[in-house]
Structure 1
Amino acid sequence: MAIRPTRRDLVAGVTAGLAAGPALAGDGLGGIRMPASVADSELRGLSPTGGKTYWASGSRGWLIRGKGERQDPMRIIGAEDLDFRGLHAFDDHHVLAMSAGPGGASQLWRTKDGGKTWKRLAANQDPEGFWDSIAFVDQRRGFILGDPTQGRFTVLYTADGGETWARLPPEGVPPAADGEGAFAASNGCIAIGRHGQVAFCTGGAGKARVYLSLGGGGVFVALDTPILADAPSRGAFAIAFGRRGELWVCGGDYKNPRAEGVNLAWRPPGSLDFQPVAAPAGYLSGISVEGETVMATGLAGTILARDGRHFERVSSAPMNSVRLTSPKSGVLCGPMGSIGLWRA
């Protein structure tokens, strides 16, 4: 069963109970500024391009090109009904936007002129398929992760910057467990390491797992994590590599965002075992790492460790995704078109 949280699942009954606005916590942790929303959209895709510039994308075909607190919203003509949960910006003007949905609702669009014009590059041809996340190694090599079809996760690969895609040999991916799927919650369930490693995380089938390939996506091994996944709404939602090859993974239960339990784990460099990390309780759907700074966010708010070890909550505003732009700055996005700007 594919796991695909919707706007109603994630926001109804939650947003009203969580504080929305900037918050400060602890020396040196900084705070999150939240400019007024400019789009009625559940924002999940997020991709900084350098400096203060970033792109965000979400439901109802909305995308936002931002620079600091300035936000320029746009919609792709012909794609107003799509849910753009994945996003990769090569630079300020060249962007790929990936929609998530069953069958042909999973699509890939490109702009090379900063959003003035868009071209559809691809659409999912498998009626049983569902695209969850997109990530790139460099300007040409990239991956799209999809939920299991024919018993294994779908991993698509491009070597020409997204113009054409092909499924990697399914036998290189271990069989999926019954009910296992990926969460299209933050474009964070697939990640690329500094040396071309590829990893994706899953849930819904007892234990949350991480599938890891050290060889650029050819062969994956499946590793257990301490994050519970004993229901379709529970598991590992996002994953990120650190600079030394360590892996961070976060998650929880999107139907119970305040639930106790392991919501954060990491795999030290060279190890095959994930260890639980002490952190403030609550569901986390996005994570990002820059140097020793680790930030994770979700509907229960945002947590931060400047030293990679001691996590504190810096905001209780509900968010979906986070991307650090430096060890002291980052951008977040979330429900109802919300954008957050973090500075230490």
Structure 2
Amino acid sequence: MNRRAFIAGAAVLTATPSLALGKGAADGLGGIRIPASACDSELRGLSPTGGKDYWASGSKGWLVRGKGERQDAMRIVGAEALDFRGLHAFSDSHVLAMSAGPGDASQLWRTRDGGKTWVQVTTNQDPEGFWDSIAFVDSRRGFILGDPTQGRFTVLYAADGGETWSRLKPEGVPPADDGEGAFAASNGCFAIGRHGQAAFCTGGAGKARVYLSRGGGGVFVALDTPILADAPSKGAFACAFAKDGTLWVCGGDYKNPTAEGVNLARLAPGQITFEAVPAPAGYLSGLDIHGGTVMATGLAGTIVSHKGAPFQQVSTAPMNSVRLTGKGAGVLCGPGGTIGLWKA
């Protein structure tokens, strides 16, 4: 493991935002404010840190430290070519950024001073590997999900805040089907529940599956979902646990964002069969839940349900990721350095 400290350059932008509204605006579900972009990046990683503060990350080595409409954009010197699709902010100052790519293009970087300096924590040592997502249970325990190598998905685990990583025993993860993979589209393909559950979702091999562990991530079982995955561009892209243990999953076809078909499903606590959930058509890559609010987003726009009501579209603006900061507030990110601020 090589550790090198770098200084990051920053750019600041504050701009008058636009407002992207959907059909749900008239029903009290609000709209999404979109400030001018601070960087030219396909933003996919997203991690709120409390209040209006958040971090986002994406292609061309860009990261954004945001506070509401204000965005401080930065690049890590020496990492400008990396695609930071995964992100976990422990606090405003302490952040882990994970790049996705083949072999050693998958890397993990850390800042403890709000982005002034960055240290490379580790690099993927498997030339066949490709990291897709990073998620933490708490300040110590975390997971990195990678595409299959040696016939099974790679699940790395850390118990020291992300300093050292080891692969879980391969026999704990069922064999992957030919062509099956996870999608590094929103850092949402790996989810952690409140009661020791862990799950990740896949596609591209004829059926979209969710691998579920109800015991802390040691042993996973593979469950089919009703989301189509009969092409490499199709499948389940993101999953998330509700407070009651319900597991939600979303997806579609990123090459045909407006296609019809099941794009949302859920698994009730204790069940083994996913049920399709009616929702406006379109590809969904990001998903989050806060209390009774469920929001999903993708290149076809953003949809939301509150307290079990039918899903409605609140915006047609293309996005990649969403994180809710309250039952009526959230932050999104997407193509072209887009940041979206949702308020009901």
Query: Does 2:21 align with 1:23?
Result: yes
Is the 8 Å Cα contact of residues 21 and 317 (structure 1) preserved in structure 2? no
Could you give the per-residue CA deviations for residues 268-316 of structure 1, whole angstroms, max 9, x where no partner exists?
Answer: 1221110000000000000000011000000000000012341000000
Residue type matched to 1:192 in 2? Answer: I
Structure 1: runs of 5+ lacking an equivalent: 1-19
Is the 8 Å Cα contact of residues 37 and 339 (structure 1) preserved in structure 2? yes
Give 1:225's aligned residue: 225
Percent of pairs identical after alignment? 78
Is the 8 Å Cα contact of residues 19 and 31 (structure 2) preserved in structure 1? no
Match of 1:49, SS state, is strand
Paired with 1:301 and 1:233, the residues of 2 have a C-alpha distance of: 18
Is the 8 Å Cα contact of residues 260 and 282 (structure 1) preserved in structure 2? yes
Is the 8 Å Cα contact of residues 189 and 237 (structure 1) preserved in structure 2? yes
TM-score by length of 2: 0.94
Residue type matched to 1:164 in 2? Answer: T
Residue type matched to 2:330 in 1? Answer: G
Deviation at 1:21, TM superposition (A): 4.7
Match of 1:140, SS state, is coil
Is the 8 Å Cα contact of residues 151 and 175 (structure 2) preserved in structure 1? yes
Give 1:190's aligned residue: 190
Paired with 2:51 and 2:38, the residues of 1 have a C-alpha distance of: 21
Paired with 2:122 and 2:28, the residues of 1 have a C-alpha distance of: 44
* Higher strand content, 1 or 2: 2
Deviation at 1:234, TM superposition (A): 0.2
Match of 1:92, SS state, is coil
Residue type matched to 1:91 in 2? Answer: S
Paired with 1:283 and 1:231, the residues of 2 have a C-alpha distance of: 14
Query: Does 2:61 align with 1:67?
Result: no
Paired with 1:41 and 1:202, the residues of 2 have a C-alpha distance of: 25
Paired with 2:70 and 2:200, the residues of 1 have a C-alpha distance of: 33
After superposition, where does 1:73-84 map in structure 2 within 5 Å?
73-84=73-84
Give 1:286's aligned residue: 286
Deviation at 1:221, TM superposition (A): 0.3
Deviation at 1:342, TM superposition (A): 0.3
Is the 8 Å Cα contact of residues 182 and 202 (structure 2) preserved in structure 1? yes
Could you give the per-residue CA deviations for residues 106-141 of structure 1, whole angstroms, max 9, x where no partner exists?
Answer: 000000000000000010000000000000000000
Give 1:301's aligned residue: 301
Match of 1:318, SS state, is coil
Give 1:6's aligned residue: none
Residue type matched to 1:63 in 2? Answer: L
Paired with 2:131 and 2:67, the residues of 1 have a C-alpha distance of: 28
Paired with 1:133 and 1:272, the residues of 2 have a C-alpha distance of: 24
Paired with 2:19 and 2:239, the residues of 1 have a C-alpha distance of: 26
Is the 8 Å Cα contact of residues 37 and 336 (structure 1) preserved in structure 2? yes
Closer, same or farther: CA 209–309 of 1 in aligned 2, 3 Å: farther
Give 1:330's aligned residue: 330
Give 1:265's aligned residue: 265
Residue type matched to 1:76 in 2? Answer: I
Paired with 2:309 and 2:226, the residues of 1 have a C-alpha distance of: 17
Paired with 2:96 and 2:77, the residues of 1 have a C-alpha distance of: 15
Query: Does 2:332 align with 1:341?
Result: no
Paired with 1:214 and 1:196, the residues of 2 have a C-alpha distance of: 6
Paired with 2:196 and 2:30, the residues of 1 have a C-alpha distance of: 32
Query: Does 2:305 align with 1:318?
Result: no
Match of 1:60, SS state, is helix
Is the 8 Å Cα contact of residues 87 and 95 (structure 1) preserved in structure 2? yes
Match of 2:27, SS state, is coil
Query: Does 2:46 align with 1:42?
Result: no
Paired with 1:255 and 1:338, the residues of 2 have a C-alpha distance of: 20
Is the 8 Å Cα contact of residues 54 and 67 (structure 2) preserved in structure 1? yes
Give 2:131's aligned residue: 131
Residue type matched to 2:220 in 1? Answer: F
Could you give the per-residue CA deviations for residues 16-54 of structure 1, whole angstroms, max 9, x where no partner exists?
Answer: xxxx85104232201100000010000000000011100
Q: What is the RMSD of the two structures over their aligned residues, measured on CA atoms?
A: 0.8
Residue type matched to 2:298 in 1? Answer: G
Structure 2: runs of 5+ lacking an equivalent: 1-17
- The runs of at least 4 consecutive aligned structure 1 residues that moved more than 4 Å come to none
Is the 8 Å Cα contact of residues 246 and 266 (structure 2) preserved in structure 1? yes
Paired with 1:138 and 1:196, the residues of 2 have a C-alpha distance of: 11
